[in-house]
Amino acid sequence: MGDHPSRSADANAGGPVVTTGRHARAAGTGVSPNPDDGPPLGGGGGLPKKTRFGMESGFRGLSTAAGAMVLVIIVAIAIFLISKAVPALRADTENFLTYKAWFPNEAEPRFGIAALAFGTVLTSVIALIVAVPIALGIALFLSHYAPKRLATPLGFVIDLLAAVPSVVFGLWGRDVFLNPVRDFSVWLNEYFSWIPIFGGDGPFGRSILLGSLVLAIMVLPIVTSLSREVFMQTPAMNEEAALALGATKWEMIRTAVLPYGKPGVIAAVMLGLGRALGETIALALTLGTVFTISFNIIENGGNSIAANIANTFGEANATGRGALIASGLVLFAITLVVNMAARAIIYRRREFRDSAA
C-alpha cells in the first residue's frame, strides 16, 4: 500500500530496512526535496546566483554614463550657440552664409561667414598637405628604420613638441619665421607667378602660406605620434611573410604595414585637421586679417573663424558678440561634419578589412 513503508534487505545484517517512499523518490530522481538535506544526491548543485550589484555592473554603468555625458555636452553646446546666435542673425541685413565682410557693430549690422569659413578650410588643408607626408615619413623611420637608441629619444622630442603652447608658435611665426616666408614668397612670385596661387604684386609676408606652415608644424607631432603607434602595431607575421616572399624593406612596408595601418593613419590625420580647424592664437598672429576669398596664398591676407573671434571679441557690442557666436556655431558644424566623415571612412575600411579576412 502506498501508506506503508517499503522494505529492503540490509546487505550486512540481512534484516529489513525501512525507507519512506519520499526518500526513495528523492534518491531515484537525484533531487533533494528539502534544501536542508544537503547537496543533491545525483550530481552537482546549480550555478551561484549572479550578484545584483557588482564591480562589472558598476563599471558598465559608469562607462554608459560617461558616453552619454559626451552627447549631453555636445547637445548643450549646440543649444547655447544657437540661442545666442539667433538674435544677431535676425539683426543681420546681409546673407550670413554668402556675405564676405564683417561689420556687426554698425547701426545696420552687416556680416557674413563666407570669407572666414573659406580661410579656415584653406589654411587647414594646406597645413595637412605639408604636414602629413613629413609626419608619415618620420613615423615610418622611427618604427622600422631607426635603431632603438635613436628612435626612443627622437620620439620623446616629437611628443614634447605637441605640448608647446599655440601662442609660442604664433609669436615665433610672426617674429622669426615671417622673414624667411616673405623671401620664399618673393621667389615663388618671381618664377611661378603664372600659377594663380603664386601671382599678385605683393606685399608678401602675413599670408595664408605663413599661417599654413605654422599650422603644419603644430599638427606634425600629433599625426607623427599616432601614426608611429599604428605602424608599430602591425603583426610581425605579416611583415615576416612579406620578407619571406622576397620583398624588400620598402615593399614590405607598402604591402604589409601601410594597408594595415590605413584606418589609424586616417584617424590621425583627422585629429590633426581638427586641431588645425580650431587653432586661434597662432593664426591670429600670422594671418593678414583680410575678409576676402582668394586662392592666392602668398599675398598679405587671409582670416579664419577662430582668429576673427580672438581679434574682434574685445571691441564687439551685443550684436557683435552674437555674430561671433554665430561664426563659432559654423565652426562647430564644420568640425562635426569632418569628424563624422572620418568615422565613416574608418568604419568602411574596417568592414572591408574584416570581410576580406
Alpha-carbon radius of gyration of the chain: 35
Q: What are the C-alpha distances in Å from 155 to residues 14, 114, 162, 255?
A: 88, 40, 11, 25
83 residue type, one letter: S
Which H or E run includes 106?
A: none
Helix (H, G, I), strand (E, B) or coil at 18: strand
Domains of the chain and CATH, by start: 61-356 (1.10.3720.10)
d(CA 177, CA 194): 26
- pTM, two decimals, is 0.77
Tell me the C-alpha to C-alpha distance, in Å, between residue 308 and each of 25, 77, 84, 303: 88, 20, 18, 7
Per-residue pLDDT of the chain (357 residues; tens, 9 = 90+): 444 444 444 444 444 444 444 444 444 444 445 555 555 555 555 555 555 667 888 888 899 999 899 889 989 988 998 998 999 999 888 888 888 989 888 888 899 999 999 999 999 999 999 999 999 999 999 988 888 888 888 888 888 888 888 899 999 998 999 999 999 999 998 888 888 888 887 788 888 999 999 999 999 999 999 899 889 888 889 888 888 888 888 889 998 898 888 888 888 898 888 888 888 888 988 988 888 888 888 888 888 999 999 888 888 888 889 999 999 999 989 988 888 887 777 776 655 455 444
Q: How far is the C-alpha of 74 from the C-alpha of 103, rounded, in Å?
A: 29
